[in-house]
Amino acid sequence: MTEPIIKFDKVVKAFGSFVVLNKLDFEVKPGEKVTIIGPSGSGKSTVLRILMTLEPITDGVVYVDGQPLWHEKSGDGSLKPAGEPHLRKMREKMGMVFQQFNLFPHMTVRRNITEAPIQVLGIAKSEARDRANELLEMVGLTEHADKYPHQLSGGQQQRVGIARALAMRPKIMLFDEPTSALDPELVGEVLNVIRKLAEEHDLTMLLVTHEMNFARQISDRVCFFDQGRMLEEAPPEELFTNPKEQRTREFLKAVLEGN
């Protein structure tokens, strides 16, 4: 039994009186590829944003790689809210791909990828450049290295976004609806890159998406979220063909008919 690399223990996230995550229990094992699906407002993106430390939690404990993410142990062993140094250390473990890409518009594609390794990890420029070239080849953008983000299509920008996150060598990759902002004909190229990553690397991957077919192909496990809780989880074949919960059936029916 391997220890989970991500563990949510009765996590509550509330904005004022609006509860986004309602005592969520959720685990991901190292190397596992997990997809979260669910209606909007079900809290699925919030899970990723909490992990990336973009959103603090209201209650409960999140563990990443065996350590509490939003807490640190004080002298007597009890948990206290984490300070910035702890959060910085924890952030190193994760990389995030955003729905809107969030590339740095004033930097070339290559610099988007090398900037954080150089400035944050202190890697030598030449080394960062070599690594960026490898990543650009992996995402098929070698010839666009010296362009600026606005000169690329959405699909190309998102592939840069993936390369940029990978350049920090995270253990866990978080994908927050990576294809939702793309024109339909550009979705495939991004999914292919993510698929390749899933097949060739032992990265832990947590993906929020509406691409059900894709989720089915690459996931070890699919989780259905509804109203701030995980209502059902199962291997993709099982969840998509034989969902146990009424809500899951309704959601899948609505989504698949919509396509």
Residues near other proteins (CB under 8 A):
52-54, 88, 91-92, 94-96, 98, 100, 102-107, 115-116, 119-120, 148, 150-151, 164-165, 168
**Least Cβ distance, residue 106 to other proteins (angstroms):** 5
Of residues 112 and 248, the one with the C-beta less far from other proteins? 112
Over the Cα atoms of the chain, what is R_g? Answer: 19
Of residues 90 and 191, the one with the C-beta less far from other proteins? 90
**Least Cβ distance, residue 176 to other proteins (angstroms):** 10
**Least Cβ distance, residue 96 to other proteins (angstroms):** 4
d(CA 44, CA 5): 18
Of residues 161 and 236, the one with the C-beta less far from other proteins? 161
**Least Cβ distance, residue 123 to other proteins (angstroms):** 13
Of residues 113 and 239, the one with the C-beta less far from other proteins? 113
Of residues 119 and 241, the one with the C-beta less far from other proteins? 119
**Least Cβ distance, residue 93 to other proteins (angstroms):** 10
**Residue 65 phi, psi dihedral angles, 5° rounding:** 55, 35
